[in-house]
Amino acid sequence: MKRFNRFLLPVYFVALIIAAFQGCSKGSPTEVTHPTPTFTVCTSCTPTFTPTDSLTPTASLTPTPTFSPTNSLTLTFTKTNSLTFTPTITRTFTLTPTFTLTRTFTHTVTNTQTSSLTFSPTFSRTFTSTMTLTMTPTDSLTPSPSLTETYTPPPCGWPGDTCTYTPTAVGTFTFTHSFTYTSTRTFTFTRTSTPTITRTPTLTRTPTATATSVYRVNGRVNYTGGTYTISSSIPLEIYVTTDLNGDGTWVALNTNNSNFSAGVTGPGTYYVVAVVGPLSNSGGDHGNPMVGRPYVGYDGQCNVNSATAVVVSGTGNTTLSSTVTFGNNCIFSGIYGNINYTGSGAVNDGSPLRIVSYSDSGYSTKDSKDARVGVNNSRYDLMMLGSTGTHYLQAFLDTNQNSQLDPCEPYINMGSFDPSVVTLRDITFGDTNRYNCTNYITGTVNFTGGTVDSTHPINISTQPYSGGFNQFTSTISNGAIYWVDAVSGDNALVMAYNYWGVSGRTCGSCNHVGDYYQVYGGSSNMPGTAINCSPAATGVNLNFDTSFRHYGLKGSLNYTGTGTVNCSGGHSVGVALTTQSAPPITSTSGTSNVCDLSQPYDVVDMTGSAGSSYYVVAFYDANGNNQFDTGDQYDVFGPYTTDDGTVWHNITFSGTNIK
């Protein structure tokens, strides 16, 4: 009974509790449904994000400044600047669905460099180059956050209550970078010197036989005519020669009735002629006597071919037995006046005006006498001493300097004159008449690398496309019309700018060291693009610049051997290039000849460029063919390095070897 009562007591209490609840509901018992709690995200919460990005912009700048001073200098240098930086940006911001963050920054780099340039002739320039590079890169950060809410609803009170919680936020950002570079370059050049460059050394004209010769003819000269007062502007000119139609030694006396001393080449028979000067610029290495001036042959002869001979038998002084005295009894006959060429060609010593005499009205038989004028619009003198009868005068532009009227050269026939008296006749002509001009090339020519004038002309030459003899012309102004002889069929053409300038007996149709040139068609090598003449090619306009240049060797040449060097019936001296250092010389290339020792040699290396090394063969042209061949006296010099003619290699030789 006690064990039963212990079991029933808890059951009793439970029944009492249930009965109490049934009394509160006032109805029959049902199952209770709990409402879902309401959760509100915390709006005052501020999640913090710290994004980090790495930006590596690289800027590369290659400035190439160009500087053009007065004496043709080109400065080119390259400087590369590389900028690399890695900024780390930390930002704190409030998470919103989307937002944009923009950052802007500036990076400036300044570089300064100094360079020194050296030129020949030797001088230096210093340049300071300052470069400023400013870059302004910008990037846009566009984070796209996403929010992930995770929770486990906990009991938060009685049903129907509102519960608040703080979610866990995870931000995801996508960064887009765009860079903008602004480059500012400023170059400042400072010249520390302004040198003056002289293009051509100045040579003093000296006769073939100089005053230092061991063979000498001495005497005294007195002019008694009274028409002229002897002075430096009107000197007495004494001519000593072995051939009255050839070259000899000229000596000027600025004081009347004074002594002279003339060096001669060696033993022989000489003739002496005294003239009232000055000499004109017509013909010969030293000019011609002026038509109309008094003269006399030693001793007292108007016919110089009958002058008394002076025999030089040995070294030392050979003195005339009497004073050469003369008045106005003997006057140089002939024709003289002013000559002016008005055409497009160049007039200079390499392309002179020729004044010639013919013995027939058909201008077919030319006299031995002529005059050469290298200065346009100046005086000519055609001395006709000893000539009689009727003669006919002609003038032409000798574009290839061969003393003959060639096809397409401009000319004029001036009619008859009496050679036995003094005649004044001025000559003016242009390009209206061109001799026997059937096949030719014509057009305009323009050079963009320098000033074109009578000293620095443009030279144009043609030759058959398959090779052969050259024809030549020149012009003295840019844009001028040229006119050059050609062959029927295909022709090659070369245009060249005479850089160092024409002087003395410079070969007008030759290639010169330092010249800028171009083969027609834009090439540096022959034959280039063919020009067809059937019978003529017109409108062939030429344009060229400094792209191609002739290099070689240049300098003065002095011969001390036993031969005679002159330009009228004598012999020339020359140089040739070789790779052999000593005799015997068996192979040469390139030749330059001079018959007037006051003029430089000028030999172009047609196969090489600046910096090539050669030995030089200096030779006396014994057979007069302008070639180094059998029988010529020679010596070897060098080695020398080819350039544009700035450096001269001066040579004196006697010819101790025989080819």
50-87 pLDDT, tens digit per residue, is 555 555 555 555 554 544 444 444 444 444 444 444 44
Residue 202 lies in a domain: no
Residue 32 lies in a domain: no
Residue 292 lies in a domain: yes
The pLDDT of residue 178 is above 80: no
Residue 649 lies in a domain: yes
**How confident is residue 21, by pLDDT bands cut at 50, 70 and 90?**
very low
497 and 556 inside one domain: no
The pLDDT of residue 276 is above 50: yes
The pLDDT of residue 182 is above 60: no
pLDDT at residue 211, as a whole number: 38
Of the three residues 502, 532, 549, the one that is the final residue of a domain is 549
Of 29-43, 291-305, 486-500, 578-592, the range with the lowest mean pLDDT is: 29-43
Contact call for residues 401 and 509 (beta carbons, < 8 A): yes
pLDDT at residue 340, as a whole number: 97
Mean pLDDT value of segment 635-644 = 95
Residues 298 and 473: their CA atoms lie apart, in Å, by: 44
Mean pLDDT value of segment 225-252 = 89
The pLDDT of residue 197 is above 50: no
Residue 5 lies in a domain: no
Contact call for residues 174 and 141 (beta carbons, < 8 A): no
Mean pLDDT value of segment 346-374 = 89
Residues 57 and 59: their CA atoms lie apart, in Å, by: 7
Of the three residues 490, 524, 549, the one that is the final residue of a domain is 549
The pLDDT of residue 392 is above 90: yes
Q: H helices of 481-570, where?
A: none
Residue 206 lies in a domain: no
Alpha-carbon 371 to chain mean position: 35
The pLDDT of residue 218 is above 60: yes
417 and 458 inside one domain: no
pLDDT at residue 195, as a whole number: 40
The pLDDT of residue 6 is above 60: no
pLDDT at residue 163, as a whole number: 57
Residues 620 and 571: their CA atoms lie apart, in Å, by: 8
**How confident is residue 27, by pLDDT bands cut at 50, 70 and 90?**
very low
Residues 375 and 373: their CA atoms lie apart, in Å, by: 6
pLDDT at residue 77, as a whole number: 42
pLDDT at residue 488, as a whole number: 92
Mean pLDDT value of segment 367-386 = 89
- Tell me what the pLDDT averaged over the chain comes to: 75
pLDDT at residue 143, as a whole number: 52
Query: In terms of residue numbers, what domain contains 400?
Result: 334-429
Of 168-177, 303-312, 463-472, 646-655, the range with the lowest mean pLDDT is: 168-177
Contact call for residues 471 and 491 (beta carbons, < 8 A): no
Instruction: Output the domain CATH number for residue 391.
Output: 2.60.40
Residue 37 lies in a domain: no
Give percent of the chain above pLDDT 70.
65
Mean pLDDT value of segment 264-284 = 85
Contact call for residues 360 and 390 (beta carbons, < 8 A): no
Amino acid in position 493: L
Residues 218 and 473: their CA atoms lie apart, in Å, by: 45
pLDDT at residue 434, as a whole number: 92
Residues 272 and 616: their CA atoms lie apart, in Å, by: 38
Of 4 and 596, the one with more pLDDT: 596
The pLDDT of residue 255 is above 50: yes
Mean pLDDT value of segment 485-496 = 93
Give the pLDDT confidence of 525-549 residue by residue, as tens digits: 889 999 999 889 999 999 999 999 9
The pLDDT of residue 331 is above 60: yes
539 and 557 inside one domain: no
Mean pLDDT value of segment 353-375 = 91
Mean pLDDT value of segment 563-569 = 72
587 and 640 inside one domain: yes
Of the three residues 532, 549, 566, the one that is the final residue of a domain is 549
Amino acid in position 331: I
The pLDDT of residue 123 is above 80: no
pLDDT at residue 508, as a whole number: 58
498 and 598 inside one domain: no
Q: H helices of 168-322, where?
A: none
pLDDT at residue 470, as a whole number: 74
Give the pLDDT confidence of 70-79 residue by residue, as tens digits: 444 444 444 4
558 and 545 inside one domain: no
405 and 526 inside one domain: no
DSSP codes joined into one string, 70-81: TT---------E
245 and 322 inside one domain: yes
Of 72 and 225, the one with more pLDDT: 225
The pLDDT of residue 312 is above 70: yes
Strand residues in 567-607 grouped as ranges (E): 573-578, 589-594, 601-604
482 and 624 inside one domain: no
Residue 234 lies in a domain: yes
pTM over 0.85: no
Domain tally for the chain?
A: 5
Neighbours of 176 (CB within 10 A): 9
Q: Which of 116, 115, 147, 152 is nearest to 130 (CA)?
A: 115
Give the pLDDT confidence of 569-623 residue by residue, as tens digits: 568 899 999 999 999 999 998 888 888 888 899 999 988 788 999 999 999 998 8
74 and 193 inside one domain: yes
118 and 193 inside one domain: yes
Of 211 and 360, the one with more pLDDT: 360
The pLDDT of residue 330 is above 80: yes
**How confident is residue 504, by pLDDT bands cut at 50, 70 and 90?**
low
**How confident is residue 263, by pLDDT bands cut at 50, 70 and 90?**
confident
The pLDDT of residue 294 is above 70: yes
- Beta-carbon contacts of 33 under 8 Å, excluding residues fewer than 6 positions away, are none
pLDDT at residue 616, as a whole number: 96
The pLDDT of residue 140 is above 70: no
The pLDDT of residue 230 is above 60: yes
pLDDT at residue 624, as a whole number: 81
Q: Which of 422, 425, 420, 421 is nearest to 394 (CA)?
A: 425
Amino acid in position 475: T
Mean pLDDT value of segment 382-404 = 90
**How confident is residue 344, by pLDDT bands cut at 50, 70 and 90?**
confident
**How confident is residue 374, by pLDDT bands cut at 50, 70 and 90?**
confident
278 and 345 inside one domain: no
Of 113-122, 249-258, 370-379, the range with the lowest mean pLDDT is: 113-122
**How confident is residue 357, by pLDDT bands cut at 50, 70 and 90?**
very high
CA angle 139, 140, 143 (to 5 degrees): 140
The pLDDT of residue 553 is above 80: yes
pLDDT at residue 3, as a whole number: 41
Mean pLDDT value of segment 203-229 = 73
